Structure 1
Amino acid sequence: PVRIGYAIARTGPWAGGAQVSQEPNFLLWAEQQNAAGGLDVKGKKRPIELVSFDDRSETETCVRTYEKLMGSDKVDLILPPWGSTANFAVAPLANRFGYPLLAPTALSRKLIEMNLPYYFMLLQQPDRMMGALVDMLVANNVKTIAIVYMDDLFGLENFASLNNALKKTSIQVLDRKSYPLGVKDLSPVLRSFKDQAPDAFIGITYPPDTILASKQSKEIGFNPKFFYASVGTAFQLYRNVMTPAGAEGVIGMGSWNSKSSPAAKAYFDAHTKKFGGKEPDRWASGACWASLEILTAAVASQGLDRKALRDYIAKTEHNTIIGKIKFTGVENTATPGSVSQWQNGEFEVVWPKSMATAALVPAKPAWK
């Protein structure tokens, strides 16, 4: 068999994202490849054996596990952990051991600047995502905004990119507040925002905080024209918790859905079927599946020589369910930044127009 190793959060604060956007894709991919006779290794089919562990949402556990997988277990390939923090820790290690790592859930300019030849990032980075958001706000005559952001690598980098993008505009930031990971109450911040009545609310949030900010804004009647929350807005869970009517008009990080391409629809349907109605998320799940498509094509072309795989991934323009992907160094520079919006129970890509699956509804209705 081809032994493919990874550590990912099944427990702890990272599990919410990891178990929606990432691990289900690993399982579906291995199942599909094995059902077709195995992974095509330069013309020879070999079954995939996944060697996987729970990193418990702990950076140290994550690093130790990958050290073991690459160092003593000597797996053939690795798949990435979830999130910016874990990838930040594991990427230099994978580079040292010479294992290509295609990361679909890491956002970090710092990781790009480290310029690790074996590391590739699929998601649009903070400058692109925040740039797209600000372009959209400017195009819709937003004059004032209030920002809340998480005090960790993801929150701080996106906050910095958002500020950079805002500098080029006349938008006024009425208030900006940070909060710690695992926050249980955002209502004091949201109440003070409500009193200032901004045109737009920007939350640089992880899935639990995205839901918390939405629920508490609804409770206190804070309903700006644009309500943006970052990670988790693209999850089926968000629609389920808020209800389709309650999610209506909310915007966030998203870049595809089943309308984006016929291949995207086939993937969406296969995922939903395998996991008993659990849908992929409309942002990172697409990037995760694309990363597996790229890895599959690389192994078919180059076999399991990891240096050859790295060179193939770095130099090729890849066709994926989310469109063409090309790496400039570490970064996927082919996919533009994007914004999605809940409309009638679907998270539609609304910006930029080149990627849109629906037109933006420029004023959020009242919370239902």
Structure 2
Amino acid sequence: MQRRQFATLLAAAAATALAAPALAQSRAPAEIRIGYAISKTGAYAGGASTTVLPNYQMWAADVQKAGGIEIGGKRVPVKFFEYDDRSNSEEAVRAVERLINQDKVDFILPPWGTAMNLAVAPILHKHDYPHLATTMISDRIPQLRERWSNLFFFTLTSTDYANGVVDVLTRLREEGKIKGKVAIVNVADQFGLELSKAAREGLKKAKFDIVYDQSYPLGSQELQTILNEVRRREPEAFLAFSYPPDTMSLNDQAKVVGFNPKVFYTAIGTVFPMFKSRFGANADGVMGLGGVSAELPATRDYRQRHLAMFKQEADYNGSAVTYATLQILQQAITRAGSIDRKAVSEQIRTGSFETVLGPVKLTNRLWAEASSVGQWQGGVFQPISPKSAIGVKPAVFPKPEWK
């Protein structure tokens, strides 16, 4: 009797094992629906169309070429939905609500920029969508992490980025290369206000002399008046916590008015390929926010594929990070074995992933290995701070004269 029972149990176990792959496949949906709202027009379009949108398009092409995303041993096709948020927070919220309620998407990719990510974060949290933020910079990261358990950060805090600049200036002062006169300007939105506040506090603590400190409205293009006033103060370092349009204008107009301090830093947009295209040799020596080294083989391969697909280089900061988060999302879906968003978020929270940045593992839902400051050197944007950053290079000093 015992032998018969054992044989029956053994047969049942074998049947279960044979059925497991079929059961896993039966849980796979007919398709995976993924959507996003992105700034295709408006003030944020330059950043979105450089750092984020090409990577969404590249990943979509890679996924489609592979036959979809694997769930339970089966390749599931992916359908993508796209909306223009017009660089408007209210429009971004409406678009995300449309993706959730009308398009019934399984996953939502994030918008570009701090303000837009903050606008949609509560909705994504309410509906359990994993939110992998790659262009959201804020000193509120610890508080936001507590409030929204599905929010994952792939940037540093405002203070981290600002302190990176302060550290560079402190090293230069210790080496006797500057005495300490600094000018600060910033775009008057959440990003610029937070970064300038953190920089101001860091510079004062380090005993630097802030000779000029002024904000300007979002969308400002005519900045010569500010630059002329800054030039009269004769700072050794100029720090602009700027967005792409004003980053371009500040560099253009600094050359026009003959303003060329020893340290010239502009924030968002400095890493963009259009910066190098626009300024050529004049880009050399200009510092900016962030910087991802292209020395890793996986990063080099990614940049080559990006160039081949778009006939334009990826930027040297958020581009590779954005693509890496898409790889993380895809691997998390496969490991979860379903499109259950809570299960996918748990995989992101606990897993280690192979990406174009190399292996990535989050600590307390934060990837804290980004560099804080980079600089154009010989046509390549190199990370220069912190010293622990991958591929970090010494800063070129002083900034060369405008040509």
After TM superposition, the score normalised by the length of structure 1 is 0.95
C-alpha distance in 1 between matches for 2:357 and 2:170: 26
1:145 aligns with 2:161: no
Gaps of at least 5 residues in structure 2 are: 1-30
Match of residue 338 from structure 1: 372
Gaps of at least 5 residues in structure 1 are: none
Whether the aligned pair in 2 keeps the contact of 1:148 and 1:203 (CA below 8 Å) is: yes
Whether the aligned pair in 2 keeps the contact of 1:42 and 1:299 (CA below 8 Å) is: no
In structure 2, relative to structure 1, the CA distance for the partners of 1:263 and 1:184 (3 Å cut) is same
SS of 1:224's partner is: coil
1:59 aligns with 2:96: no
Match of residue 33 from structure 2: 3
Match of residue 263 from structure 1: 298
**Which whole-Å deviations, capped at 9, do the CAs of 1:282-303 have from their partners, x for residues lacking one?**
1111210121121111011003
Q: Which moved further from structure 2: 168-177 or 226-235?
A: 168-177
Match of residue 307 from structure 2: 272
**Which whole-Å deviations, capped at 9, do the CAs of 1:193-231 have from their partners, x for residues lacking one?**
111111100000000000100111111111111100000
Match of residue 262 from structure 2: 225
C-alpha distance in 1 between matches for 2:126 and 2:150: 9
The structural deviation recorded for 1:112 is 4.2
Match of residue 121 from structure 1: 153
Structural mapping, 1:122-271, within 5 Å = 122-141=154-173, 142=178, 143-243=180-280, 245-259=281-295, 261-271=296-306
C-alpha distance in 2 between matches for 1:9 and 1:236: 18
Q: Match for 2:385 among 327, 351, 365?
A: 351
Aligned letter for 1:2? Answer: I
Q: Match for 1:108 among 117, 133, 138?
A: 138
C-alpha distance in 2 between matches for 1:357 and 1:268: 18
Question: How much identity, in percent, do the aligned residues show?
Answer: 38
Whether the aligned pair in 2 keeps the contact of 1:7 and 1:81 (CA below 8 Å) is: yes
1:305 aligns with 2:361: no
The structural deviation recorded for 1:330 is 4.8
Q: Match for 1:13 among 30, 43, 59?
A: 43
Aligned letter for 1:199? Answer: E
Whether the aligned pair in 2 keeps the contact of 1:325 and 1:335 (CA below 8 Å) is: no
**Which whole-Å deviations, capped at 9, do the CAs of 1:130-150 have from their partners, x for residues lacking one?**
111111110111411100001
The structural deviation recorded for 1:357 is 4.5
C-alpha distance in 2 between matches for 1:47 and 1:27: 15
C-alpha distance in 1 between matches for 2:69 and 2:197: 42
Q: Match for 1:76 among 103, 106, 109?
A: 106
Whether the aligned pair in 2 keeps the contact of 1:128 and 1:337 (CA below 8 Å) is: no
After TM superposition, the score normalised by the length of structure 2 is 0.87
Match of residue 324 from structure 2: 290
How many matched pairs? 364
The structural deviation recorded for 1:323 is 4.5
SS of 1:140's partner is: helix
C-alpha distance in 1 between matches for 2:171 and 2:101: 51
Q: Match for 2:52 among 6, 19, 22?
A: 22
The structural deviation recorded for 1:281 is 0.8
C-alpha distance in 2 between matches for 1:337 and 1:165: 18
C-alpha distance in 1 between matches for 2:234 and 2:72: 60
Whether the aligned pair in 2 keeps the contact of 1:39 and 1:46 (CA below 8 Å) is: yes
C-alpha distance in 2 between matches for 1:319 and 1:87: 25
SS of 1:296's partner is: helix
Aligned letter for 1:322? Answer: L
C-alpha distance in 2 between matches for 1:176 and 1:320: 40
Q: State the structure with more CA Rg.
A: 2
C-alpha distance in 2 between matches for 1:317 and 1:172: 44
| Greater fraction of residues in helix | 2
C-alpha distance in 2 between matches for 1:166 and 1:297: 42
Whether the aligned pair in 1 keeps the contact of 2:181 and 2:208 (CA below 8 Å) is: yes
